[in-house]
Amino acid sequence: MGSFSPRIVTPLLAAAVLVGATSCGGGGTGGTNASGQPAGKIKLTVALFSDFHFAPLYEEFKKTHPNVDIVERRAQFNDHHRNLTTQLATGAGAADVVAVEAGYIAQFTPMADKFYDLNQYGLGKRQGDYLDWKWKQGLSPDGGKLLGLGTDVGGLAMCYRTDLFKKAGLPTDRDEVGRLWPTWEDYMAAGKKFVANAGGAKWFDGPGENFRAMVDQAPVGFYDQQNNLVAGTNPDVKKAFDLNAEMIEAGLSAKLAAFSPPWNTGLTKGSFATVICPSWKTGSIKDAAPTTSGKWDVAAVPGGGGGNQGGTHLMAPKQGKHPKEAAELIDLLTSKDSQLRLFTEAGALPSIPALYDDPTITSFTNPFFNDAPTGKIFTDAAKALKPQYVGPKAGDVLTTFGNALQRIEQGKQNPQDSWTQALDDLQRIK
């Protein structure tokens, strides 16, 4: 799963979910251990940055591990990754299992000494399951240690409101809609027509997600493969920034940060018509705006497809006292059966390519999205995906550019000045 807005990201209140908990006086063998739980019981904490829909899988785990209680805690997206950085630096506070999103994975894999090597718990056997590039993302820089197993990937599409398209005189059929925007420039042109006839609705939520999608489609993103930060000199990054700045100045943006409460409200009220849509975001839209079922559809993404937005690895910090059980939980949460289930329930596109030909996925249609064949749409996107190298501070770089676009939206800077400040801000990212 992934949830990344470069401005204000995933503003979830901190949450904790306890699975299989027992009171001090119940079960066990009498007495308590050092953690205060009944003797023989252990507690695993799982730190996430959104609802990954893991709760039913925890119950599956309990069937073979009745002595394990699972406590899930959630934080805002940026806070979650900042907290993990602090926890690893101070040696305290990290969960037994942590989710790390694709934009941050290269920041944590060099810290191989801070995580358990999952090879030591038999998970190296899973290599044949995975997309090669997804597997490699979870390895230490020397390739010798397996630090994380992937949950999902984020092949790109575009979600859109058919009711708003109809009102503005645009086609609503998903194939016709895809033909509106073979390029991002065409997407902008369609947006200008839309806002001229839509009665106040905007073309898209905010520029951050579109900017990320454009960069993700490029051969090189923010870093080259030698970990040199090239974002300020990469013409594809500048082109993406300039085009989004132009769309802001054309009045196409609703100025809403993805996953914020106003974004949720905008989804429900129809404040904007299109949303850049990796597979996992179909679940986010459904969760955030359940009353809009049937008003959405899914079309091809501008720019010729390709690109990966989001996707996560599960890792086990060495601060955890139960690495065997943590590794076994990671194994179950990322298994073929689990990834298949999470696609149909939450839209998380598997990182196991054998599942792309599974009839459960290939024939899957999503009633919330006007029965769009999302199984085929997103597996086709995944098959076309050409993975881009992700550098160590890609998440921080993306936040820097997102802040720059926000300054333009708020009228605080013109595009050139905001770009110049972004380049200055990049110098502080080490």
pLDDT at 19: 54
- pLDDT at position 34: 44
Give the total residue count for the chain: 430
| pLDDT value, residue 7 | 32
| Domains, the chain, ordered by start | 15-153+310-362 (3.40.190.10), 155-308+368-426 (3.40.190.10)
pLDDT reported for residue 20: 47
Pairing of strands 97-101, 42-48: parallel
- Looking at the DSSP bridge assignments, the partners of residue 202 are 272
Please write the tens of the pLDDT for every residue from 330-376: 999 999 999 999 999 999 999 999 999 999 999 999 999 999 999 99
The reported pLDDT for the residue numbered 144 is 97
Q: What pLDDT score was predicted for residue 349?
A: 93
Query: What whole-number distance in Å separates Cα of residue 314 and Cα of residue 348?
Result: 14
Looking only at the bridges linking them, the beta strands covering 68-74 and 148-155 are: unpaired
pTM of the model: 0.85
In DSSP terms, 298 is beta-bridged to 159
Show the low-confidence residues of the chain (pLDDT under 70): 1-39, 430
